[in-house]
Amino acid sequence: MADTPQLPGHIQAAIDRNLARQNRDAFGRPADSAGITWTGRDLSGTGIEGSANPLHAFDTDDGLEDEAWTKVSQDLLDGNADEKDVFNVLQNIRVFAAVVPTVAEATHEKRADQHGKEFTVESDKEADVALISLKAADGRGALPVFTSIPKLTAWHKKARPVAVWMPRACLSAVDEGNELVVIDPGAHLTYVVRRPEVYALAQQRAWTPSYEDVEIAQALSELTDLVPGLSQLAMAPGRGVGTQTDNGNVVAGGGAGPELALVATPTDPSDTVGSKLMLSTLQSLIADVPILAERADTVEIVLGSSH
């Protein structure tokens, strides 16, 4: 009887490495990462949000900008919308995260057979993908997302788009350690979603801008009597709430901060030394206001006038 043909050693080794990496169930059949066999798996049926694809909601996505975003961004440019209007739209739109290919290093794993004899399983370098993150001017991490594929590819030629609901993108941003989400970097209108708004979107809950938050105002009102020389403490939008388009037009939202301005009016504006002491004391006290740290992304203290 003729000998059974043997594969070349390097080919057999590659097959063995591949088999060693595969997930299998208790009977040795190919399975998913949870050990559940693929045999008999039915992936047909209705998908998310009525999609024909059961795995995702974007099988008919044309990659273009959502109409709701087009409208609210134009309203923002025209002065007919604010950050609350934008937030309401962001709760329900699809965006594109940007990923780039990476290469994982080869691994060498020691294993033992049923007789206790050790052998080494070597894995080849494998392709993977990673989310792109940015660094804001203050050093914080920021996740870029895009309202259309053309805007993404114009910003980064090698990046690949991943369609995702905006709340899910914000959840990924938080999971990756990013406090900001930047919508359409490099476009005509680049819009920064600051930390409290990112968290609210990720948790799918309501959000109020810090400069309109009644509960913050109430907490700050309790500090007035504790600060020498402070006559009044008021809240206003910070100078960094708004942003500019690429041609210099100012819009009332989407800026990186400062978000909240605390306007401190001294009892005696002519007392320069007293005003400095007032500001220093106030700065120390607001650091211990939990609701301020939670709901205001960045805070600036501004010296007010009694006139």
The reply to whether 285 falls in a domain is yes
Distance CA 231, CA 79 (A): 34
CB 235 within 8 A of CB 260: yes
Query: 76 with 186, same domain?
Result: yes
Query: 30 with 150, same domain?
Result: no
pLDDT digits (tens, 9 = 90+) for 122-159: 555 555 678 899 999 899 999 999 999 999 999 999 99
Query: 68 with 36, same domain?
Result: no
The reply to whether 245 falls in a domain is yes
Q: What is the pLDDT of residue 34?
A: 55
Distance CA 67, CA 183 (A): 15
What pTM value is reported for the model? 0.75
Query: 188 with 168, same domain?
Result: yes
pLDDT digits (tens, 9 = 90+) for 76-98: 999 999 999 999 999 999 999 99
Distance CA 36, CA 208 (A): 45
Query: 81 with 161, same domain?
Result: yes
| The residue type at 203 | Q
CB 172 within 8 A of CB 143: yes
Query: 182 with 80, same domain?
Result: yes
Distances (CA, A) of 20 to 13, 28, 113: 10, 11, 12
C-alpha torsion sign, points 107, 111, 113, 115: positive
Give residue 33's domain range.
8-42
The reply to whether 59 falls in a domain is no
Q: What is the pLDDT of residue 121?
A: 53
When divided into structural domains, the chain yields a total of 3
Query: 246 with 166, same domain?
Result: no
Of 145, 175, 203, the position where a domain reaches its end is: 203
CATH of the domain at 278: 3.30.70
The reply to whether 56 falls in a domain is no
- Per residue of the chain (307 residues), give pLDDT as tens: 555 566 666 566 666 665 565 566 666 666 555 555 555 555 444 544 544 444 456 767 889 999 999 999 999 999 999 999 999 999 999 999 999 887 555 555 666 655 666 655 555 555 567 889 999 989 999 999 999 999 999 999 999 999 999 999 999 999 999 999 999 999 999 999 999 999 999 999 999 999 999 999 999 999 999 999 999 999 999 999 999 999 999 999 999 999 999 999 999 999 999 999 999 999 999 999 999 999 999 999 999 986 5
